[in-house]
Amino acid sequence: MTTARYPGRPRAAVVVAVLAALPAVAGGALQAASRAPVTPDVLFLVVDVAVGLVYGAVAAVILSRRSHPVGWLVALAAVGGGLSALGGGWASFALTRPGSPGGDLAIGLFGSAWVPGTLALFLVVPWLVRESSLDRVAWAGVTVGALTALALTLQRLVAPMSDNRGLLLAVVLVGLGTATAVLWRHRRGPAAERAGLGLLAAGTALMALSFVPLLLVPYTDSGIVLLVPISHLACQALFPGALLVTMLRNRLWGIDIAVSRAVLAGLLTLGMVVVYTALVWTATAFVASSAVAQVVAAVGVVLAAGPTRRRLESEVHRLVYGEASSPGRAALRIGASLTGAEDVELLDRLAAAVGEALRLESVILTQPGDGTAGRWGTPSSVPVERVVRQGEDGTGEPVGVLTVTPRPGERLDRRTLDALDQLRPVLAVGLGLVRATGEVVRARDAATGARLAERRLIRRELHDGIGPWLSGLRLGLQGARNVLATDPGAADAVLAALQEEVAQRVQDVRLLSRSLLPPVLEEHGLVAALAELVDRHQRMGFAVEVRGLVTDDPEALRDLDPRVAAAAYAVVSESVLNAARHSGADRCVVEVTLVEPDGVAPALVVSCLDQGSGRAPDVADGVGTRSMRERTEELGGGIAIGPSPHGGTLVRAQLPLAPAAVPA
């Protein structure tokens, strides 16, 4: 149930406030003018005056912002309380002024005008205080509450002197059931709707229990009925603030301080009354002196006032302002959201944690560069943006942009904006974690791709090379066996040829294993591995000339990152192998250099140039070529493969010296 669906009605709010306040004030004035002796009925009149004034103001505030059914029911309670106060005041005035008209009507108003609105406050309103649509349980609760309130109202109008204890018992039970449902929603319901429901549940239960003394009147001292108005007055410390917070959430448009202080004062007063009463009763049980008991209770109240106020102040601020009153709580919620998710999902959960903690309408967290964004909610108003930067002081490199909107009909108050500013360092850490998580995921995918490429390479060599050769070896051996008895010389010649072929295939297997990751690379580094590669191809009749740092300054390559060295060797090994097999040339040139481009981190550049026939433009990348690309890109580098300006094929790869994306 959003504000867009229930637009505010400021004029109706003013009318409600006037219709509730005027009879309430008039009733109080008539009671004072009557100079009638103080009786228990006076306390009920005081309650009616308070209901008219307090709930009239609450209804006006709600209706001016949201024309919600709750606002109209609160208005019904306020107007009913005002009329009841007017009836009670006029009845007292008429008793002291014989001949005054309307005495019977005034007594009827005093006894029944408050019933429908007051009962609706705790039997119907709590079911309607929600942002989502009513479910079946809520509709059942509204129906039962409305029927109960209607039944007691009709009884008070039609047969006010009849026995109504059955209806009162129904009021108590339905009220307690409503309080239980509100408490369940406070603990298990949607996070965005929980604010204030705990206080509303307590007020609902207290209102329901306040009718219990009316059930006990026939069996005990009639003075117990005074607990009814006293408990109703105590509810003024719970219900109004809870209704304002739950209906308007934490955007109270300038009345947040008044609401928080009023709720705090009411709860503190109620708490001190409870403490005083409990201490007096306890002390009287041990010390048969009321004076001593009162002194003990007074001392206890003084000692309990400070801690109670601090605890209540913290809870009331959290009730009114949400976790914007305590950025530490919001930071804990944000930290809890950074577990068990990956990449964009992690961004969404981070945005949701901010939105739920500060009770916003929508939150968008955007990362620079790729524009990846986490979203929560749907914006319907002009957004407010905050740049999130690294560092506790927020002056470092930008790591993201936070875009938020308040709930419909609300605004971002100063407290929430301050909370956003204080949360930005926490969000910077969260965004850094999101970025690092994404890099790890991409690195894992790249490493998986590299492993698959190597497996495809091995499979190709086994299928296209070693596999067919083994089949030929089997046929050759079978042929030698066939002629062994009749022509031993021919059999010997076949076996000799097969022996030479086996020796060559052993070299091929060694070449394959070394092309993946030769032991010398791990043990002695890139320079030694390239020297072995040159020697191996030299023995096979293909010349490899190495230039650059390998010959001019080999010490510069001694401390290379193992990941960079492995990728560089893989590029050179595959490039030289392709040149030897496919270029038609008898030699190639390998060059290893270091570059430091402006504004770019230092990088290692490896290249392989042959003077062969060149690479056709429409030739698709093979397994080896794709493996080279994956190895360079997973480190944040790049590779170019194409024709050389002077003929032949040029392979050139650039690898950052300090790759941050791939685990070692």
Give me the pLDDT at residue 258, please: 47
User: For residue 279, what is the enclosing H or E element?
Assistant: helix 256-286
Q: 403: pLDDT confidence band, cut at 50, 70 and 90?
A: confident
Give me the pLDDT at residue 185, please: 87
At residue 358, what is the residue type?
L
- Rg (C-alpha) for the chain, rounded Å, is 43
Give me the pLDDT at residue 229, please: 76
Question: CA torsion, points 239, 245, 246, 250, in degrees to nearest 10?
Answer: -170
Please state the three-class secondary structure of 495-531 as a single string.
HHHHHHHHHHHHHHHHHHHHHHCCHHHHHHCHHHHHH
| Angle, alpha carbons 118-120-124 (nearest 5°) | 150
Whether residue 125 has pLDDT greater than 60: yes
Q: Minimum mean pLDDT among 8-17, 31-40, 463-472, 507-516: which range?
A: 507-516
Is this structure's pTM higher than 0.85?
A: no
Q: Which residues neighbour 49 within 8 Å (Cβ) at sequence distance 6 or greater?
A: 24, 25, 27, 28, 81, 82, 85
Q: Which residues neighbour 547 within 8 Å (Cβ) at sequence distance 6 or greater?
A: 589, 590, 591, 592
Give me the pLDDT at residue 480, please: 77
% of the chain surpassing 90 pLDDT: 15
At residue 216, what is the residue type?
L
- Distance CA(195)–CA(633), nearest Å, equals 50
Q: 18: pLDDT confidence band, cut at 50, 70 and 90?
A: very high
Give me the pLDDT at residue 21, please: 92
Alpha helices in 322-413 (DSSP H): 327-337, 343-358
Whether residue 2 has pLDDT greater than 50: no
**pLDDT digits 0-9 by tens, 69-119:** 888 999 999 999 999 999 888 888 888 777 677 778 888 888 888 899 999
Contact 398, 388 (CB under 8 A): yes
What is the mean pLDDT of the segment spanning 297-310? Answer: 69
Tokens standing for 96? 């002291």
Q: Minimum mean pLDDT among 3-12, 124-133, 445-454, 578-587: which range?
A: 445-454
Q: Minimum mean pLDDT among 114-118, 199-203, 527-531, 598-602: which range?
A: 598-602
Q: Minimum mean pLDDT among 353-357, 365-369, 408-412, 611-615: which range?
A: 408-412
- Distance CA(452)–CA(435), nearest Å, equals 26
**pLDDT digits 0-9 by tens, 43-59:** 888 888 988 998 898 88
Contact 361, 406 (CB under 8 A): yes
Whether residue 508 has pLDDT greater than 60: yes
Burial of 261 (0-12, 13-18, 19+ CB in 10 A): middle
Contact 193, 245 (CB under 8 A): no
- Distance CA(545)–CA(537), nearest Å, equals 11
Q: Which residue has the higher pLDDT, 504 or 248?
A: 504
- Distance CA(346)–CA(212), nearest Å, equals 52
Whether residue 482 has pLDDT greater than 90: no
Tokens standing for 259? 């609401």
CA distances from residue 500 to 475, 506, 514 in whole angstroms, order as listed: 16, 10, 21
Give me the pLDDT at residue 451, please: 66
- Distance CA(271)–CA(81), nearest Å, equals 25
- In the beta sheet, which residues pair with residue 545? 589
Closest C-alpha to 71, from 136, 6, 141: 6
Residue in the block written with tokens 């229990």: 209
Give me the pLDDT at residue 609, please: 92
Q: Which residue has the higher pLDDT, 415 or 479?
A: 479
**pLDDT digits 0-9 by tens, 349-364:** 778 777 777 777 788 8
Q: Which residue has the higher pLDDT, 325 or 529?
A: 529
Give me the pLDDT at residue 25, please: 93
Is the dihedral angle over the CA atoms 238, 244, 247, 248 positive or is it negative? Answer: negative
Contact 115, 228 (CB under 8 A): no
What is the mean pLDDT of the segment spanning 367-394? Answer: 76
Give me the pLDDT at residue 178, please: 94
Q: 664: pLDDT confidence band, cut at 50, 70 and 90?
A: very low
Q: Residue 535: count other Cβ atoms within 10 Å of its Cβ.
A: 11
**pLDDT digits 0-9 by tens, 175-233:** 999 999 998 988 887 766 776 777 788 888 888 888 888 777 655 555 556 667 777 77
At residue 95, what is the residue type?
L
- Distance CA(70)–CA(52), nearest Å, equals 16
Whether residue 411 has pLDDT greater than 60: yes
Question: CA torsion, points 569, 573, 576, 577, in degrees to nearest 10?
Answer: -170
Q: Minimum mean pLDDT among 120-124, 145-149, 478-482: which range?
A: 478-482
Give me the pLDDT at residue 625, please: 80
Tokens standing for 29? 């004035």
What is the mean pLDDT of the segment spanning 316-342? Answer: 52
Give me the pLDDT at residue 343, please: 45
- Distance CA(367)–CA(344), nearest Å, equals 10
Q: How high does pLDDT run on average in the chain?
A: 77
Contact 195, 246 (CB under 8 A): yes
Residues in the chain: 664
Q: Residue 539: count other Cβ atoms within 10 Å of its Cβ.
A: 9
Give me the pLDDT at residue 96, please: 79
- Distance CA(160)–CA(158), nearest Å, equals 6
